Amino acid sequence: MSQQELVRRVIGTLEAAGIEYMVTGALVSSLQGEPRTTHDIDIVIAIQESQASKLVEAYPPQEFYLEQDSIIDAIRSQGMFNLIDVKEGEKVDFWVLTDEPFDRSRFSRRYEEEVLGTRLYMSSAEDTILVKLKWAKLAGGSEKQITDALRVFEVQFKNLDMDYLKHWIKELDIEKLWDRLREEASPV
């Protein structure tokens, strides 16, 4: 199953199960900035334990790896779990929506757009930049994360909510990375 087909299937499954979601990560930064290949799909989900079985039932074990215990553990720890297409190796990282103010803020700002022939909810450009810089900080300055943030900033510059960005840059303590991004940027 191609990544595009997997995205369609996962979004359909989440919507049928009544699970709110937001696509994020490299897939979204590629759409908002500079395209690049990625081997996983990152999705933030607002899932309850009672919905875990609906996900597992939608993905037969001969085709997919998805453990109900992993889903329950991720819900309880506000962590993440994976869905893996065992034949093609495509992977979905499901990130459980946390109670953190930034996580709640970015989830509330998601928007719907048609991508790859499918209508889906995705992270705003500002939140894509912020998350990429946050991950870069956690990963000791990951160049891939910084470049993704930079390209989204450059392409989306004219439409960015700078007040929103400035607020969360301070809250997330990513000022140094933000300054670097602004110094390197050449808005389109």
Which domains does the chain carry? 3-122 (3.30.460.40), 125-183 (no CATH)
Nearest by Cα to 132 from 148, 153, 121, 110 = 148
For the chain, report the end-to-end CA distance as a whole number of angstroms. 35
Residue 1 pLDDT more than 70?
A: no
Using only C-alpha atoms, what is the Rg of the chain? 17
Closest CA to 33 of 157, 176, 143: 157
Query: Residue range 72-97: average pLDDT?
Result: 95
State the alpha helices, DSSP H only, in 18-161.
25-32, 52-57, 68-77, 101-108, 125-138, 143-156
Please check the confidence at residue 102 and state whether its pLDDT lies above 90: yes
Is residue 98 predicted with pLDDT exceeding 90?
yes
Higher-pLDDT residue of 21, 34 = 21
pLDDT at 86: 92
- The mean of the pLDDT values for the chain is 93
Mean pLDDT of 98-127: 94
Going by C-alpha positions, the residue among 29, 26, 23 that lies closest to residue 155 is 29
Summarised one tens digit per residue, pLDDT across range 84-93 is 999 888 999 9
Summarised one tens digit per residue, pLDDT across range 52-73 is 999 999 999 999 999 999 999 9
Buried b or exposed e, range 143-178, using 16+ CB within 10 angstroms: eebbbbbbbbbbbbeeebeeebbeebbeebebeebb
Pick the range with the lowest mean pLDDT from 3-7, 16-20, 36-40. 36-40
Residue-wise pLDDT tens digits, 138-167: 877 688 999 999 999 999 999 999 999 999
The answer to whether residue 4 scores a pLDDT higher than 80 is yes
